[in-house]
Structure 1
């Protein structure tokens, strides 16, 4: 057979890659696709392909699988680990099982670690291993985290991950490595531009594959684990039960001002997705700021709850469909609509408006500085004396913080505005947001950043 035609479909926001493989006969295989199938449908349509097979490497923690949707709407055959005990129609595979794709074959390899039921899929052309879909096992320069199933299984799964990576390393060096998790994924992947690799490259460069023994591997992997969004803990079980099949594309229903006010009284929450400067200038009191950008879904899943009705506030030039799909792919089906007319309609109705002051790097002397970046970012360099609380942990600690003027900062300002909105919800006043980050402060003041704890 000619060279395999494979298309990587990258979700920059979640840091994941799905794959579409042209099987050469008008059919396609897709691997690890999310519920947002727009890119899959577009890629298949451009090539005149029907998605005949959908393989899932594991019960994902960071997005809802789109495999069941494909099965229900296109009759796609779903391939997944038998050990996952999925409660919907699928072909359960065990180690060594093969599926004939019509010229190509897919062989299941048990590679537990990231999750207990994890499978990698070898793509074979005849007897030649072309590539391997490694999911959350072997990543480019790393391996996926092992603490998502249960805290008391983290070390045991890390030891299984050691064995899985060593098993994958026995493949021929020219075998392509096609992982699901990549740079930007909270499932643990180092920053970088490469999303695919080869076995030979990983053997030569991946620090975890170069660990001298199992104990060193476990120490290095567990030591690299940072925080992750709490919605991760829900999606594995939702994927096992089977994500609800959508009968229409998600959308934002328009809600007038009076309806929004009534819903807020009944317990709904506002999520304002406008750029930070627009939110700073004017927003509805109590609104949560999560600017719409590629990482919107991750922060929505980190800062907003999935069991409370959510109402969106956006600018007219922001894509309502993108907002709805980003929420849907992480299981947030609780977006009940948007404020029709946005902040202008609220203002026109003479409802309360508030603002949050933005400050420059030269305006934070002699004031409390709260740095809400991830721990590795903070350790790499921060403003001297800055208090550190990760944004994801802030809501639970806001009531304990001193009620004093505070400048919130992150790398650029978007996350800091989200933190400021959480503090305002908790009754803090005198909260301002730094435009920019620690590097801007260092350039402006000519002073050095501190590193370490």
Structure 2
């Protein structure tokens, strides 16, 4: 009897897998912090005999090379992926034995990348699961524009063909187990559900229900901005990432925190946006530990800039550190736990700014306040507050000069990204109000929402 353990990476919106039998197992697209994979193997009492990559990842640093070296497993990487380390190059149709009656077969599925490879798990010759990486996802496919702009349409067409290849070759009850699609920006659209099969995808996935021209046109029209840190993930994975160091960073006292701010380094407060707005170290930025920390911090921070983390507890700090190594932010320069009272020098007062709802914003208009919308372009297209300024959150830090004079009421769709943007504006010396409210409440509050 086989098993498949799902290792969820909630912050990045990805999944890794460990699949095996009674004595050995294969790890699929493992995260950089491999201890979860090792723990899963230990629970099942199996050795990891193989580690496989569906592709060179664009959105996170892999732990595959380190895991393979640590366990002695064969490291399977698509033959078309150009890497600078020793590995077992796999091509379409290659099959390896994982355990008694359990095999894994490589299936060429270009589209997300030119070399993308899915893997079909068979028990006694019967397909039971397909590890589809960034090809066939739940209700959608992986985006085709992360490799080279000139290849985007070609890869989009390849995605359509790859989806059909999997659907035509596998029984309807085969489980589809993708890496992307649970919040990752590698997905061309949000996943439609939490689990799926080939049969379900045949009925619902547009890659399998519409013709190729319609599919490609719709796919390309819906692509969002690419997180800036993606440019560093592929090269890191091609070189072969170093093992992670998750030991606690050096402790920063108030004088060091102030000195790092004065030097232009980033000091990031991991507390929730409510606590941050009520009181924080002036000049620090707020990226909530529970709010897709790795994605947004790695997207906004200038690459290589030293970062000091401020956390409520050692547990929050350790969790954040783990999230950040997955995207190549290897070691915080320093860190401190507690709250503003222990982070400020003697005599310093905490900075703060107000939070509000859309109903409160409606009471302020039209008294000259600036309304800043930091949602993505696709969200903005669905409706916006009349007269608002639009700068997506990942562009705010380098477009501060474009925000008109006046008190800035900043909003997103729910509050988390508004909190990030408000902290950036506050650090720049602007008067800011963070709208911590769902956007649906804007129209209900009497604000004019423009559509179309």
TM range (shorter): over 0.9
5 Å matches for 1:391-430? 391-427=393-429, 429-430=430-431
Q: What SS does structure 2 have at the residue aligned with 1:253?
A: coil
- Is the deviation greater in 71-80 or in 217-226? 71-80
Kept after mapping to 1: 8 A contact 2:13/2:181 = yes
Report the CA distance between 1:236 and its aligned residue.
Answer: 0.8
CA deviation vs aligned residue, 1:122-176 (integer Å, no higher than 9, x gap): 1122332222111000111111101111112211211221221121121222222
CA contact (8 A) 2:312 2:337 kept: no
Spell out, residue by residue over 1:270-323, the C-alpha distance to the aligned partner (whole angstroms, 9 max, x if none): 111111111112222221211110511111111223311100112137521101
Question: Does the alignment pair 1:168 with 2:170?
Answer: no
- Kindly report which structure 2 residues correspond to 1:186-201, keeping only aligned pairs within 5 A, or say none: 186-192=185-191, 194-201=193-200
How many angstroms apart in 1 are the aligned matches of 2:417 and 2:394? 10
Once residues 448 and 206 of structure 1 are traced to their aligned partners in structure 2, the CA distance between those partners, rounded to angstroms, is: 36
Q: Go from structure 1 to structure 2 and tell me whether the alpha carbon gap of 1:204 and 1:287 turns closer, same or farther (over 3 Å shift).
A: same
1:448, distance to aligned residue in structure 2 (A): 6.6
* Cα separation, 2, equivalents of 1:451 and 1:187: 28
- State the partner residue of 2:441: 440
Q: Which residue matches 2:451?
A: 451
Correspondence for 1:262:
259
Q: Is the 8 A contact 2:6 2:18 kept in 1?
A: yes
Contact 1:391 1:415 in 2 (8 A): yes
Q: Which residue of the partner structure matches residue 217 of structure 1?
A: 215
When the two structures are superposed, what TM-score results if normalisation uses the length of structure 1? 0.92
2:97 is aligned with 1:95: no
Name which of 237, 240, 252 aligns with 1:239: 237
1:388 paired residue number: 390
Please identify runs of 4+ aligned residues in structure 1 that moved more than 4 A.
none
Whole-angstrom distance in 1 between the partners of 2:285 and 2:345:
21
Q: SS in structure 1 opposite 2:359?
A: helix
Is the CA contact 1:72–1:245 (under 8 Å) kept in the aligned structure 2? no
CA offset at residue 189 of structure 1?
4.9
Query: Partner of 2:129: helix, strand, or coil?
Result: strand
Q: C-alpha distance in 1, partners of 2:69/2:255? A: 39
Which whole-Å CA distance do the structure 1 matches of 2:6 and 2:208 have between them? Answer: 24
Structure 2 counterpart of 1:66: 63
Deviations 1:93-149 (A, max 9, x none): 111111121321111111111111111111122332222111000111111101111
Q: Distance in 2 between matches of 1:211 and 1:287?
A: 48
Over the aligned positions, Cα root-mean-square deviation in angstroms equals 2.0
Alpha-carbon distance in structure 2 between the residues aligned to 1:32 and 1:99 = 17
How far the C-alpha of 1:43 sits from its partner, in A, is 2.1
Between stretches 98-107 and 114-123, larger displacement belongs to 98-107
Equivalent residue for 1:320? 317
CA contact (8 A) 2:59 2:327 kept: yes
The correspondence of residues 220-299 of structure 1 with structure 2, limited to 5 A, is 220-246=218-244, 248-293=245-290, 295-299=292-296
Name the CA shift for 1:448/1:402 in 2 (closer, same or farther; >3 Å).
closer
Of 128, 131, 138, the residue aligned with 2:129 is 131
Match of 2:70, SS?
Answer: helix
Q: How many angstroms apart in 2 are the aligned matches of 1:24 and 1:284?
A: 54
Cα displacement (A) at 1:18:
0.9
TM-score by length of 2: 0.92
Structure 2: gaps (5+ residues):
none
Distance 1:381 1:195, change over 3 A: same
Match of 2:147 in 1: 149
Give the secondary-structure state (helix, strand or coil) at the position aligned to 1:297: helix
| Cα separation, 2, equivalents of 1:250 and 1:378 | 41
Check 1:250–1:120 CA distance in 2 against 1; reply closer, same or farther (3 A cut).
farther
Cα distance in 2, alignment partners of residues 137 and 255 from structure 1? 44
Query: Which residue matches 1:372?
Result: 374
Cα distance between partner residues in 2 of 1:7 and 1:387? 46
Instruction: Work out whether residues 281 and 344 of structure 2, in 8 Å CA contact, stay in contact via their aligned partners in 1.
Output: no
Q: Structure 1: how far apart are the matches of 2:448 and 2:200? A: 37
Q: Which residue is 1:353 aligned to?
A: 350
Question: Distance between the aligned counterparts of 1:51 and 1:440, measured in 2?
Answer: 51
Equivalent residues of 2:22, 2:46 under 8 A apart: no
Do the aligned partners of residues 271 and 368 (structure 1) sit closer, same or farther apart at CA in structure 2, a change above 3 Å counting? Answer: same
Q: What's the offset of the Cα at 1:38?
A: 3.6
1-structure distance, mates of 2:308, 2:240: 26
Cα displacement string for residues 245-282 of structure 1 (whole angstroms, at most 9, x for unaligned residues): 23x42433211122233333444211111111111122
Matching residue of 2:301: 304
2:264 and 2:97 map into 1 onto residues whose CA distance is 52
